[in-house]
């Protein structure tokens, strides 16, 4: 049985003070959650958030990491730095990073390796653009992204990785993939993992859906057999809304 995982992706929202207030409100609201709960916050919020999470079961996540261990990479953050702050998860390859910051399947793969080498867990994002969706290229695009992301990642390391399937046209748009469409694509991703590793690995890996998931549609998405959780943007910025998704 896969334990569902629901993660908030705050993106570039919330100051450290606001982060503290949000998680302080969130803690009691999700204390009986049956799923794993994660908040992925901006780098500068990590310290305050970690403190405010004390005594809760909520895990801490970052939204990006660099592939190098250290060095002349102005403005970047390493896996060692995140580890020292006791970060549990890091999102890698979010479509906004791919779209606005030049991330490629190769850098995504390098970043996954860097994170795993410091014992961080990974949420790796895949998903098609609207254009690719309309051209019925979803399966091709998502399969390729998955294959490239997992290059030279061992079966053992796989246990530390969660995949988030996020159709780009559904992110922040209020348009959600239908539960059956999301289920179908996620099943294809699972089959890709089976081809790359084996049946046991494909049945063990958790795959989230992301893209305008909210209190209204969470339960029907979570009811799909292959959907193991959600990566939540907009609806994670409000404690009440995020708690409703978590307690779907
Ligand atoms: P959204 O964002 O929930 O606001 O659509 C999801 C994401 O980008 O991870």
Q: Is 94 a catalytic site residue?
A: yes
- pLDDT for the residue 178: 93
Give whole-number Cα distances, 52 to 34, 56, 118, in Å: 21, 9, 24
The angle at the Cα of 107, spanning 101 to 112, to the nearest 5 degrees, equals 115
**How far apart are alpha carbons 229 and 204 in whole angstroms?**
13
Tokens standing for residue 233:
């943007």
171 lines ligand 1 (CB under 6 A): yes
- pLDDT for the residue 175: 87
Which contacts of 151-154 are long-range, i.e. CB under 8 A and separated by 24 or more positions?
A: 151/109, 152/109, 152/113, 153/109, 153/112, 153/113, 153/116
- Ligand 1 centroid, distance to 44 Cα (angstroms): 20
Which residues does the chain have with pLDDT short of 50? Answer: none
78 lines ligand 1 (CB under 6 A): no
Instruction: Name the E strands within the chain.
Output: 5-9, 36-40, 59-62, 89-92, 121-126, 161-165, 206-210, 229-232
- Ligand 1 centroid, distance to 56 Cα (angstroms): 24
Q: What is the pLDDT of residues 60-113, one digit of tens each?
A: 999 999 999 999 999 999 999 999 999 999 999 999 999 999 999 999 999 999
- pLDDT for the residue 191: 98
- Ligand 1 centroid, distance to 11 Cα (angstroms): 9
- pLDDT for the residue 1: 85
Domain regions of the chain by residue span: 5-246
Q: What is the pLDDT of residues 171-183, one digit of tens each?
A: 999 888 999 999 9
- For domain 5-246, give the CATH superfamily: Aldolase class I (3.20.20.70)
Tell me the torsion sign for CA atoms 187, 188, 194, 196.
negative
CB 52 within 8 A of CB 24: yes
Q: Is 18 a catalytic site residue?
A: no
Query: Ligand 1: which atom is nearest the Cα of residue 232?
Result: 3
């Amino acid at each position: 049985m896969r334990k569902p995982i629901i993660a908030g992706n705050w993106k570039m929202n919330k100051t450290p003070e606001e982060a503290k207030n949000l998680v302080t409100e969130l803690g009691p609201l999700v204390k009986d959650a049956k799923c794993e709960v994660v908040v992925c916050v901006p780098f500068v919020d990590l310290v305050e958030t970690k403190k405010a999470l004390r005594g809760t079961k909520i895990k801490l996540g970052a939204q990006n990491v660099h592939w190098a261990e250290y060095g002349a990479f102005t403005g970047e953050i390493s896996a060692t730095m995140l580890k020292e702050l006791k970060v549990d998860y890091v999102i890698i390859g979010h479509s906004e990073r791919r779209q606005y910051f030049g991330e490629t399947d190769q850098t995504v793969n390098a970043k996954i390796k860097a994170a795993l080498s410091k014992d961080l867990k990974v949420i790796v994002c895949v998903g098609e653009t609207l254009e690719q969706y309309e051209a019925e290229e979803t399966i091709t695009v998502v399969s390729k992204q998955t294959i490239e992301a997992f290059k030279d990642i061992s079966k053992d390391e796989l246990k530390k990785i969660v995949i988030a399937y996020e159709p780009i046209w559904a992110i922040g748009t209020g348009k959600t993939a239908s539960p059956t469409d999301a289920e179908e694509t996620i099943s294809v991703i699972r089959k890709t993992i089976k081809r790359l590793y084996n049946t046991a690995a494909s049945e063990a890996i958790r795959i989230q859906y992301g893209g305008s998931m909210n209190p209204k549609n969470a339960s029907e998405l979570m009811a799909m057999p292959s959907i193991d959780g959600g990566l939540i943007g907009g609806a994670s910025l409000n404690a009440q809304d995020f708690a409703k998704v978590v307690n779907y």
